[in-house]
Amino acid sequence: MRDPANPSVDSPEYPPELARLPPGRHGLPREFVAHNQRERLIAGLAEAVAENGYAGTTIAHITRHAAVSRRTFYEHFNSKDECFTAAYDTVMTELRERVGSAFEQEDEWPDAVRAGIAAMLEFLASEPHLARLSMVEALVAGPVVVERYDEAIQSLVPYFQAGREGRPPEVLAGLSPTTEEALVGGMVSLISRRIFAERTEELESLLPDLVEFTLTPYLGSAEAAKAARRS
């Protein structure tokens, strides 16, 4: 299926922002070092927030985890908020690319939905710190990030809207303009409640439930349940 949210997606790679440069002298070009410092600060923030929560995180925590100086921090960011926003955007870009590319690899819409949800759960389960940063801490990081969070959730709507295509009129009659928003909201609430409770390891077991839940309005319960239990 063509990815309805990101029409041109490159092959997914782990974001360079989350990779780390080993400390010490390395004789690398200045621009590379600067770029890498920014990435290290972002990774440092993710670790600091996982440890202390957003409110409890200070710039000193971030620079300690990133192993850079305070001055370097201020060369890249004006505030903790700005650094957090950069980290949030990095995680979301990665998540979107993974979901988009998993979705694209399937021919049939129900399989594409399943693959997209699986990719999302897998990423969040494998990165509990980033899961917490993007789904829990983002909400307490102030209105700017909350707005981005809302946008990120709404950006999943087109994947479900694609399911309307070719559906018989009686099925379409049962869908409302907000069906997809409600499905996305329900799915995200299930996921964030697990992350909130620090039960990230349960995320992947939600796959069949989430597939059945999101496919039911389009395929009916019986077909949706079949698609959910297919492996």
Partner 1 sequence: MSREFIARHQRARIIAALAEETAEKGYRAVTVAHIVKRAGIARNTFYENFGSKEECFLATQEFAMNTALERVVSAAGEIDDWPQRVRAGLTAFLTYVGEEPALARTCMVEALSAGPASVRYYEESQQAFVSLFQLGRDVSPHGGQLPETIEEALIGGVFWIVYQRLTGPEASRIGELLPELTEFILTPYLGADEAGKVANGGGEQNSGKRRDRG
Residue numbers of the site for partner 1 (CB under 8 A)? 53, 55, 136, 139-143, 146, 150, 153, 170-171, 173-174, 176-179, 181-190, 192-193, 196, 206, 208-210, 212-213, 216-217, 220-222, 225, 228
**Per-residue tokens: 86:** 């950069």
Nearer to partner 1, 105 or 216 (CB): 216
Is 3 or 137 the residue whose CB approaches partner 1 more closely?
A: 137
Only one residue has tokens 């707005």, namely 147
CB of 43 to partner 1, least distance (A): 23
User: With respect to partner 1, which residue has the nearer C-beta, 103 or 160?
Assistant: 160
Residue 21 vs 190, nearer CB to partner 1 = 190
To the nearest whole angstrom, how small is the minimum distance from the Cβ of residue 132 to partner 1?
11
Query: Measured from the CB of residue 145, what is the shortest distance to partner 1 in angstroms?
Result: 9
State in angstroms the smallest separation of the CB of 182 from partner 1: 4
